[in-house]
Amino acid sequence: MKELEKTYNPAGIEGKLYEKWLDKKYFRAQPNKDKKPFTIVMPPPNITGQLHMGHALDNTMQDILIRYKRMQGYEALWQPGTDHAAIATEVKVIESLKKQGIDKEELGRDGFLEKCWDWRKEYGGRIINQLHKMGSSADWDRERFTMDEGCSEAVQEVFIRLYEKGYIYKGSRIVNWCPVCQTSISDAEVEHEDQNGFFWHIKYPIAGEEGRFVEIATTRPETLLGDTAVAVNPEDERYQDLVGKMLKLPLTDREIPVVADAYVDKEFGTGCVKITPAHDPNDFEVGKRHRLPEINIMNDDATINLPGSKYHGMERYEARKAMVKDLEELGLLVKVAPHTHAVGTHDRCKTTVEPMVKQQWFVKMEEMAKPAIEALKTEKLKFVPERFDKIYLHWLENIRDWCISRQLWWGHRIPAYYCDQCGEIIVSKEVPTVCPKCGGTHLTQDEDTLDTWFSSALWPFSTLGWPEKTEDLEYFYPTDVLVTGYDIIFFWVIRMVFSGIEQTGKLPFHTVLIHGLVRDSEGRKMSKSLGNGIDPLEVIEKYGADALRMTLITGNAPGNDMRFYWERVEASRNFANKVWNASRFIMMNIEKAPDAKAELKELTIADKWILSKANTLAKDVTENLDKYELGIALQKVYDFIWEEFCDWYIEMVKPRLWDDEDKTKAAAIWTLKTVLINSLKLLHPYMPFLTEEIFCNLQEEEESIMISSWPEYREDWSFETEEHAVETIKEAVRGIRNVRTSMNVPPSRKAKVYVVSENQEILDIFEHSKVFFATLGYAGEVYLQKDKSGIADDAVSAVIHQAVIYMPFAELVDIEKEIERLKKEEERLSKELSRVQGMLSNEKFVSKAPAAKIEEEKAKLEKYAQMMEQVKDRLSQLS
């Protein structure tokens, strides 16, 4: 057995231990018919990414589960990898090239892609290396990338399958369009934020009815140029006579119809809604129902595209100002009212997104959504906590077709080819040489790439070798748990669910464990703009990875946000020091009897108590972890180690360890080592570095705590009688300490302690526990008796269940000072009694106060009266 360093220094051990784990291949998982598999796929961080608190929390939770299952004997695979993050990476590379004076277009597609791959080689592993510092025990030998050869093969396979099934099509629909990046973007990349804006109320003249108008209100007056109707609710009596009539569209020479549609909320605004099918997703659906034309009035850079119009070529907000001015001059602007509303912005460049009808590739979602809904309703898929079921179902039950094409170069290029002669579309893995329709040989591949989420939707099975029927896929798929934040439930989780069912016939996982966001100490979301982000690597450098991990899980409940406090990190570090110092103490004493062994029958009451407590702890923690209550499990381990083991048991056994003649010393040493090892194992998933260093120095039988067995509940370690006995002793000790504290008696001052009880069982408990009871109760001598005979009248007492503990007053305090203390207590109680009696004699209070409050005050009156009686008795005795 080696000796631990005097001071716990995480920086000195974490790096070397992680290298050891990597060298020994402890994280490696292989198909093993003798073991059950347990699989988690890591949500692939972007190759542009840097570790932030969200990553730290997400990966800590996954690591806890994988380490727990590994110790339970499962073949535990934590599948890691990174995402190519199409838009984010392309933006980064373009920025890098600009600094070098290089233009993307001049490089051409192939040249630009070379630069992207170079960028990936240089920066792509950065976040993975940072996850190493967190102690993440993923199987890094299996690390995958969403654009590696295998994942690319899977992407092409799925695209072709869905296309041939009729689920993928090319058509014109509303998409989120970023005018700066000039690409469609997914819902996941749109951030909705409340912004102060306006409602512009505009008159639309009724054709042929001079002086008559309908009034609409809009937050985007520039889109008026693309209106193709005004809609009213069919049940709105105010406008029934207008349905079917034509309106003159202001600032244009067009006329548009009034249509009736239930989409319109007649209670909101004026009850008349302008319909712009090419620039609003809801209007698009209304337009389809009424067969309205779709007029896209904008170029890709959000400038107005209406040749012949005075607004042609204007930037959208410039056009807005000009149009509002013109409407006012024409007398068609009724009013401008302030209005706060949610505005969608691109999360990368912060540009306001423009909904726009574009020719894009889409996936039909209606049929694929059905089995994903059924999976949840039949409880084959479960969310922890369950409240996220509603979000999942709401999104699936209102799903729209998914736009999967992006106007980017970095990403999976769409495997579609166009015949230059007849326009035929050929979808194929291999580059076609001849058009099957006309025989033409001039074919051009689609310029677009696929949405990043298209490839990450396949992550649970593409990383295991699909579409090939690999041994890994057969053994590790379906996976077990997906751990992710609530902010990407629909964007990623749902896409994995329907993709897994569609392509493999199986759910990709049975449980989704949802966590919240890590916020700052004021509850604000961490962001660059606020400057309140905290770098996990900074925390690790200062306090160690274990302290950070523990802080992130302490008090953490599934689905709930948490606040980050530096004070909590310090508390976690203090706990690590407590475990370290206790372990050093135990190891120094083990050296006195390194081969100490003990039969259960040789254990004392105290030994059996702590062993039984540790036994129950193993059962409780296992149950909590199986229910994904990671924070509750950690709190139980923390409370046991700090309070029961360190503050009570170690103090109980010190007299035995220091007495060379004590025949129970071997039992004490065996118990200390056994309970410490089991405690370290239960703590290991949370604090892997600390527990590994202590474990490997404490014993030589096993080379790593990581691959040791998880503690299991044992019937022969359950000692209810001894637990009851020690809890009785603890109650007595607490009573003694409370009395001494209230009297300001220093621990160094010993006093006789009398235990008086008519119950022989209680006296037997104290008889068998005299050695440690005397130490913990600061007793010079301990006397056990059935009555109060021989005990001085001035003895102070502490009452416990079925017994009273007495201590001679003169041995504890200066009598004059005690009289002074009791008089102050008498004065305090007199005031409390006056206050309570006054309240209870007040008719207004008694008639109006809740019954529970009245009962509470009556109970206080009774308590204070008893205390006053005791104080007066003591004063009488002392004087």
What's the pLDDT score for residue 300? 92
Determine the angle formed by the axes of helices 86-99 and 104-123, rounding to 10 degrees. Answer: 110
What's the pLDDT score for residue 455? 96
What's the pLDDT score for residue 820? 87
Q: Is 597 exposed, middle or buried (0-12, 13-18, 19+ CB in 10 A)?
A: exposed
Q: Put the strands of the sheet holding 803-807 in their side by side order.
A: 779-785, 751-756, 803-807, 796-800
d(CA 18, CA 24): 10
d(CA 129, CA 475): 28
pTM: 0.86
Please state whether beta strands 416-419 and 405-406 pair in parallel, antiparallel, or not at all (unpaired): unpaired
What's the pLDDT score for residue 12? 93
Cα separation values, 433 from 436, 439, 440, 442, 869, Å: 9, 9, 8, 8, 105
Residue with the two structure tokens 């850079």: 301
Taking a C-beta distance cutoff of 8 angstroms, is the pair 77, 473 a contact? no
Computed from CA positions of residues 372, 378, 379, 383, in that sequence, does the dihedral angle turn out positive or negative? positive
**How many residues are there in the chain?**
879
What's the pLDDT score for residue 833? 93
Under DSSP, is residue 838 helix (H, G, I), strand (E, B) or coil?
helix
Annotated binding-site residue? 528:
yes
Spell out the residues 6+ positions from residue 45 whose beta carbon is closer than 8 angstroms to its own: 55, 82, 83, 127, 128, 131
d(CA 507, CA 498): 8
d(CA 29, CA 520): 37
Segments of the chain with pLDDT less than 50:
none
pLDDT, tens digit (0-9, with 9 covering 90-100), for 379-395: 999 999 999 999 999 99
pLDDT, tens digit (0-9, with 9 covering 90-100), for 112-122: 999 999 999 99
Q: Is the peptide bond before 467 cis (omega within 30 degrees of 0)?
A: yes
**Token output for 330:** 């024409």
Spell out the residues 6+ positions from residue 774 whose beta carbon is closer than 8 angstroms to its own: 753, 781, 782
d(CA 582, CA 578): 6
What's the pLDDT score for residue 1? 65
